[in-house]
Amino acid sequence: MCVAIPGQVESIETSGASRMGRVHYATGDTRSVELAMVPDAEVGDHVIVHSGFAIRRVSSREADAALDLIENAPT
């Protein structure tokens, strides 16, 4: 099973064809993420990230719901 985690885009840098975002997660981590699959993502947006790639924009409500599911998943 793969887990995609929501985070919030803090900044975006474009270099040639590459568009990278700094994404902040609820855990306190901030990571560089490839934004090629969500070209409409902007600073402040929430995105679902899998393996270093933002794969979808989501509302803050959807991000909160996903985080709640992850946090409360049975172990």
Q: Which fold has domain 5-71?
A: SH3 type barrels. (2.30.30)
Of 5, 1, 23, 2, the C-alpha closest to 66 is 5
Sequence spans of domains, the chain: 5-71
Question: Which tops the pLDDT comparison, 70 or 3?
Answer: 70
Averaged pLDDT, 36-63: 94
Q: What percent of the chain has pLDDT over 90?
A: 67
Report pLDDT digits (tens) over 11-29.
Answer: 999 988 889 999 999 889 9
Averaged pLDDT, 45-60: 94
